[in-house]
Amino acid sequence: MTFFIEVVITGLLGGLMYSTVGLGFVLIFKASGIFNFAQPVMVLFAAMFIAGLNQEFGIPLWQAIPLVALLMIGVAWVIERFVLRPMVNQEPILTFMATIGIFFILLGLAEMFWGSENRTLNVGIPRGPVFIGDILLQSYRVYSSIIGFIVVLLVVLFTQKTKMGRVLRAVADDHQAAQAVGIRLTTVWWVVWSIAGLIAIVAAIIWGGSIGVQPIMVDVAFKAFPVLLLGGLTSIPGVIIAGLIIGAGESVANVYLGPLIGGGIGNWFPYIIAMVFMLYRPQGLFGEKIIERI
């Protein structure tokens, strides 16, 4: 039983990581209706620049991270100015395809600068086992999920308590009404993509520390998509709860189901959870009810 609880808690902690990637995504989707397929690669992009600056140029991490934060804000500006603005009012499938374009651009840029070798990224999060009662956990996971939780909290505070947050919520509610009261959509998009970039940095640091900085990170970040579906694309609480469900489900399946049907099921199991769930509830856990009119 203790072992089962360990497995579940490890999964829950891992799931919070998916939530952090999913969070940036939800913000973008709410503010602009764009399904940002490039979010996973933003994580890789940030991780490679932090690790590259640190190891190739010897810039200490505490300087490299703010530098990359500035870079992500710059990237957000470029994306807003040269991709989103001209693509306003295009069909959703085309904006979706445009984010796949951004996906390849960021991937190619990161590799052009830093190659594709595996780098380590260690910001000094403690490692090693830790006991809570009888339950054995990895302290890295515990600390990283605390960080993830803080990020979520910050985002919630930002959207609920600041002026900019109120603007974001207004835009998410109704684009045209927001424009009518004098909100600049372009600024909002820039801010939102910047926040998504900053969240990607956090995910980059945490994942870079546990699996190393390498292109395979994108595959791990792909698992944020089922989390989004399950949570319902537009809901911040949804993405967190879905992250926990998927994390726990994946971890339990890996330990108990994996040996029965062959390993490596972590890649697709989250998708199957989301897919089966969505057959019953197409809008996800907390998504807005989909109403169609003719």
Tell me the torsion sign for CA atoms 150, 119, 212, 118: positive
Q: Is 96 in the site for other proteins (CB under 8 A)?
A: yes
Q: Is 259 in the site for other proteins (CB under 8 A)?
A: no
Sole binder of other proteins in the list 225, 234, 238, 240 (CB under 8 A): 225
| Nearest CA-CA partner of 94 in 160, 162, 169, 35 | 35
CA separation for the pair 178, 185 (Å, rounded): 8
Which region, judged by CB under 8 A, interacts with other proteins, from 54-62, 122-130, 160-168, 263-271?
263-271
CA separation for the pair 187, 32 (Å, rounded): 11
Q: What phi, psi does 201 have (nearest 5°)?
A: -65, -45
Sole binder of other proteins in the list 74, 126, 237, 264 (CB under 8 A): 264
Sole binder of other proteins in the list 4, 81, 88, 108 (CB under 8 A): 108
Q: Is 292 in the site for other proteins (CB under 8 A)?
A: yes
What are the structure tokens assigned to 250, written together? 């994946």
Q: Is 106 in the site for other proteins (CB under 8 A)?
A: yes
What are the structure tokens assigned to 201, written together? 């940095």
Count CB atoms within 10 A of the CB of residue 241.
18
Which region, judged by CB under 8 A, interacts with other proteins, from 7-15, 97-105, 120-128, 156-164?
97-105
Does residue 193 contact residue 39 with C-beta atoms inside 8 Å?
no
Name the site residues for other proteins (rule: CB under 8 A): 35, 82-83, 86-87, 90-94, 96-98, 100-109, 111-112, 115-116, 222, 225-226, 228-229, 233, 262, 264-265, 267-268, 271-272, 274-275, 278-279, 282, 284, 290, 292-294
